[in-house]
Each structure stands twice: as C-alpha cells, then as structure tokens.
Structure 1
Amino acid sequence: MAKEFKTLEELIELMESRGIVTDENTRSQLSRESYYAVINGYKQPFLDREAMSRSADDVYVSGTRFEWIYALFSFDRDLRAVTFKYLAQAEAIMKNAVVYEFCRANPDPSSYLATSSYASVGEMLFAKGFKGNRAKIHQTSITRLMRTLNAKAGGSDGKQFISHYIEHYGFVPLWVLSNDLTFGQVSHFYQLQKRSVQSRACRMISEGIGSDRRITPQELLRAFSVLVEFRNICAHDERLYCAKVGKSGDVGYYEMAEILSWILPEKEFDSFLSEIATLFTMREEPLRVVTRESLLRDMGFDVSGMGES
C-alpha cells in the first residue's frame, strides 16, 4: 500500500515521534531537500539497532538530531561534487585514448561503422573470471554498439555539431562523434576493440600521466566498469560515501579512488586527495557522532591504525 503524502509539519512530527530532535531550522531544510532523500538515505548510522528489534518502525539513538543526519547528507553531496569533477577528467582521458588509437589503426573515417573493425568473439576482452556465454555477449554487444553508432552518425540525436558535419562533409568522423558518446557507451566500444588498439590506448594513458607502471587492457576494462558506475551515482545524486558497485557489490569508494590513480596525472590525483581531505576538515564537526574513522571505514579505507576520535 502506497504511503500517503505528508506535509512538512507532519514529517517533523513523524521524526520527533521516532526520537529525532528537530529545531527551528528543520522546516526550512526540509523545504529545500526531500525528506526521503535525507532520512532514508542517511539514517543508518543513527539507528538504535537493539530498540528496532522490538519495533516495527525506525528507532533512533537517544538524542539524535535532524541536523546531524542533514550534515551527513550535506557531506555526501559535497563528496559527490568533488568526485564527479575528477571522474569527468578520467572519462575524458580514457575516451580520448581509446578513440584516438582506434582512428589511428583505422584511418578510413567511416571504419567505425564496419563490424570488421572490431574484435571477434575470440578476441573480445572479458572481465577476469567471466563464465557466461561469450558468443552471445559478443553478438549482443556488437549489435547494440552498431545500432548506437549508426543512429548517432545519422544525426538522430539532433545535435548541431553532428548535423554540421553531415551537411558539409556527408559523414561524421569518430573523433567528432565521440563527443556525443556516454562514458558507458565508450566502455562497450573499448571492450570490443582489437587487442592492439586496447594495448596502445593503455600505453597512451600511462605515458600521459608519466607513470612507469603500464596499465593493462584488463585493468582498463575494470577501470571503465567501476568508474562508469561511480560516475552514474554522482550524476544521479545517489548516496556515495558507502556505495558499493560491481556484480558482487564489493567495490567501494577506496577502490574507485585507487583506480583513478591509474588514470589521472599525479598532480590531478593529488588535488583530488587534497580536496577530499579538506572536505573532511570542513564537515567533521557538524557530523558529531559520525566520526572521520567511521566514514573512512564505510568508504572502504583501512582504519585499523587509527583510533576513534
């Protein structure tokens, strides 16, 4: 049965009935943000698990204030903003490397529309441990990719820069079309590349950040998989700090950050870490009962050497 609409006053009464302390700012904060985004998204650290075992409703730890839950919500919003900025940089680097190396290997501007330009089922790169039907996945992937590329190359999206190329040149080269491809679409495009293109794209990324360590085609496939999911979390304003992605739901923020270090130049990655550290410093006091250590633990960091503050 669907829940009934509640006014701001009724939502405040509901919180107070469950043990949440509100104040003069609560109503204005709820008028700007969804109650369900704040409470349902960020209530977990404040729930009284023992009391809830005897109750059908949420019960909060005695003294829990709405402003503390709202502070965690605000921290996560800021974390998304910082993370999204650097994920966008990584996306641009990865997209450029793959498209550049494909075009270099396939000089005909229309070759991206030919299935012969892509890996066969035997050449297609799969994640480690993949045990599914490779032939079926290959067929589905190549069909979907060709449908997407042909639609975009035909100007079906109505993008002005694509229409310009069609009108003036009769076709749209991939290096232009790639501006209209999503991160997820480029991920599928990469997976269907021949190994030589994948290897050169990896080398281009590693050389671009001045790293002696070479990212492998398998690692770049994993980077696409993980970073695309985290980018979508940020873009859709979903809870980030304790998010887990991957088929097994075991890849957290820490591993995402580690993968970013494979892609971003050292200076940019250091800036990313610095902004995260600044965010903790700015937001730590309002979080109150949610400590820096508990947040880092939820983000997947090893805090075994740190004491709770």
Structure 2
Amino acid sequence: MLYNKQSISLPQQIQQLKARGLVISDESTAEHHLRNIGYYRLAGDWWPMQSDKVNHVFKPRSRFEDVIALYSFDSDLRLLVFKAIERIEIGLRTRMINHLSEEIDPWWFENQAIFINPNAFKTNLKSLDRELSKSKEVFIQEHFKKYHTDHRRPPAWKSLEVASFGLLSKLYGNLKPGIKSKDSIAQELGTVNHSFLKSWLQSISQIRNICAHHSRLWNKNLPGRPKLMPNPPLLWVIDSPHVSKHHMLYVHLCCMTYLLDAVSPGHRYPERLKHLFYSYRSVDPNALGFPERWQADPFWQ
C-alpha cells in the first residue's frame, strides 16, 4: 500500500479535528498552536483521548485546550528531568575520572585490557574522537596545540569532560568486573554494585536522549528497564514499582531521585515534581506510572 494522503492547511486541520469530535472553542488560538507546535507533535498528546484510534474519533468532551495543557506539562517535565540528569551526569563523570585515573592511569579509557567487549571499546573510542574533534572547548584545543607530538588523546580529566552521558554509560558498562573502581563508583552512588548501576545509567541515558530531542515523556512506553535493588542502602520508595510498570517514567524518576540524594544532597527535586503536578491538575499521574498516594511516601518528602 502506498501512502497517498496530501498536506492540508491549518484551517483544514482544525475542521478535521472538530469533525472527529475534538472540542475547539477558539480556532485562532488552535491555529497558533498548530502553526508553532505542529499537528503530529500534538497527536501524541491527543492519542489517549481517542475512542476509535483507527478512524481517530475523539471521546466525548475531549478539548483542544486539554491537549495543549498536556503538551505544556510534558515540556516542563522534560526540563525538570533534564536538569536532574545533568547533576547525575556530572557526578558520574567526576567519579569515573578520579577513581579510574588513580586505579589505572590518566589514559585508562584507551586501555583495551580493562574492557570486556573489544568491539564496544573501539566504537566508544571512535565516539570520543568525534566529540574531541568537534569540541570548541579551549582546554581541548590548547592541549592539542601544546602537546601535538603526544599521539595519545588528552587525559581523562580533559577528554571525558566532552564525552556525552551516553558514552560515559557505555564506558562504565564495558569495564571488566575486576576493575575495583567499577564497584567503588556504584557504592558511592548507593547502588551497591556495578550490575545495578549499569542498568540505571542505560535507562537514564535513553531518557536523556528523549529530552534532548524534545520528544514526549508523558504516557510513553520507555525502552529502558532499570534493575532494582532488593535492599537499597539509601532511602527508597515504600511502594516499589512493580516490574510490569518498569516501562513507565515513575520508576526512572525514583532512580534519578535516589542518585540525586548521593550526588547532590539537599536537592529539591521532590518539591519541584510535586509543584509541577500541582500546576497541571488535569494531568493524570497514573499515565506515568505514579501510584495514587505517591506524595505521602517519605521518599518524596
């Protein structure tokens, strides 16, 4: 089957939505949002409002303004999540630089002997080389100028400063279990050992990519499945998310908040998260996997 639908104008988009049952009280406002956000970006927010997803018929009392509220909530949520990941990323990066440079040497990331998968090792180095080559950081450019006869990459405390969170996660995950720093870093972050931390970092890295590309978080089936500890050493939620809900955002937010407790004591993440839901009272937290009385849990106090 060939796709044969043609582009339609903004007024036609509005009439199509109205014909399908979406209540639009202010067409000029709706046209403004469709022009600046886009039909298919908003489609992810009105998808759950449809009773017939084949013919795209909306449920009774579905309103365009609720679609925009969901879109705005999701935008604010991504900013909040991205800020948390930034702190976790810096905490992880610093620990990897310090621990591994002391245990091995400042060029440990070039040492294939300490990594499990040689192909992943080569791929990761290529990714790092791309980051180094396009970096505008003065300390990177000056290093290559000053030490142009040294064919090694800049030491870890320089090179890893331009590495992405995804690359840090891959470097950590590929370290051999016998490398002491792998567990030392996990213990400092409260995740007991490297097997738990590895799965958390992989999941958080995927969520970071979603945020960086301005994709939807609300009501999304997330790819990562964090491996949860049976007896976490730090404060954890009383009602731990069931494995059947590990595709939803709530379990990932629990993991991020747990890591924030280790890298940024005194953070106000739970307060900001509660304020977000308070600001968008029409949003159903259950669509993100939140339990009914999540705010009363001491973990979120």
On the 8 A contact 2:173/2:198 being kept in 1, the answer is yes
Cα distance, 1:112 vs structure 2: 2.6
CA 2–160 in structure 1, closer or farther in 2 if over 3 Å, else same: farther
Where structure 2 has 5 or more consecutive residues not aligned to the other structure, the ranges are 226-244, 296-301
Task: Tell me which residue corresponds to 2:89.
Answer: 91
The residue aligned with 1:18 is 20
Number of the residue aligned with 2:172: 190
Q: 1:59 to 1:79 in 2, by over 3 A?
A: same
Alignment equivalent of 1:42, drawn from 42, 45, 52: 45
* TM-score for both structures, normalised by structure 1: 0.77
For the pair 1:200 / 2:179, whether they are aligned, the reply is no
In 2, the alpha carbon distance for the partners of 1:245 and 1:177 equals: 30
Q: Aligned letter for 2:126? A: R
Partner of 1:127: none
1:97–1:205 Cα contact (<8 Å) kept: no
Give how far 1:240 is off: 0.5
Question: Who is 2:289 aligned against?
Answer: 300
Q: Offset at 1:96?
A: 1.6
Give the match for residue 147 of structure 1: 126
Q: How many pairs align? A: 264
- Normalising to structure 2: TM-score of the pair? 0.79
Relative distance call for 1:68 and 1:167 in structure 2 (3 A) is same
Q: 1:179 aligns with which of 161, 169, 173?
A: 161
Aligned residues: CA RMSD: 2.5
Tell me how far apart the structure 2 counterparts of residues 75 and 158 of structure 1 sit (CA, whole Å).
33
Q: 2:194 aligns with which of 214, 217, 235?
A: 217
Alignment of 1:216-255 (within 5 A): 216-246=193-223, 250-255=246-251
Gaps of 5+ in 1: 122-137, 207-213
Contact kept in structure 2, 1:94 and 1:263, CA below 8 Å:
no
Aligned pairs (5 A) from 1:240-279: 240-246=217-223, 250-265=246-261, 271-279=268-276
How far does the alpha carbon of each residue in 1:27-71 deviate from its partner, in whole angstroms, 9 at most, with x for none?
222222112111x211133112xxx28xx5111112321111111
Q: What is the CA-CA distance between 1:196 and the residue it aligns to? A: 0.6
Match of 1:4 among 3, 6, 12: 6
Out of 103, 106, 129, the residue aligned to residue 105 of structure 1 is: 103
Give the distance between the partners of 1:9 and 1:172, measured in 2 at CA.
56
Farther-moved stretch of structure 1 (61-70 vs 142-151) = 142-151
- Sort the Cα spacing of 1:150 and 1:68 in 2 relative to 1 into closer, same or farther, 3 A: closer
Q: Which residue of 2 aligns with 1:78?
A: 76
Tell me the SS of whatever aligns to 1:57. Answer: coil
For residue 15 of structure 1, what is the amino acid of its counterpart? L
3-state secondary structure, aligned to 2:57: coil
Counterparts of 1:114-129 in structure 2 under 5 Å?
Answer: 114-116=111-113, 118-119=114-115, 121=116
CA contact under 8 A between 1:244 and 1:250: conserved in structure 2? no
Rounded Cα–Cα distance in structure 2 between residues aligned with 1:65 and 1:105: 59
Structure with the larger RCO, 1 or 2 (CA within 8 Å, 6+ apart): 1
Deviation, structure 1 residue 237: 1.2
One-letter identity of the residue aligned with 1:192: N
Q: 2 CA distance for matches of 1:305 and 1:165? A: 49
CA distance in 1, matches of 2:224, 2:15: 40
CA contact (8 A) 1:215 1:262 kept: no
Change (3 A) 1:240 1:282: same
- Distance in 2 between residues matched to 1:91 and 1:182, nearest whole Å: 9
Equivalent pair of 1:113/1:149 in contact (CA under 8 Å): no
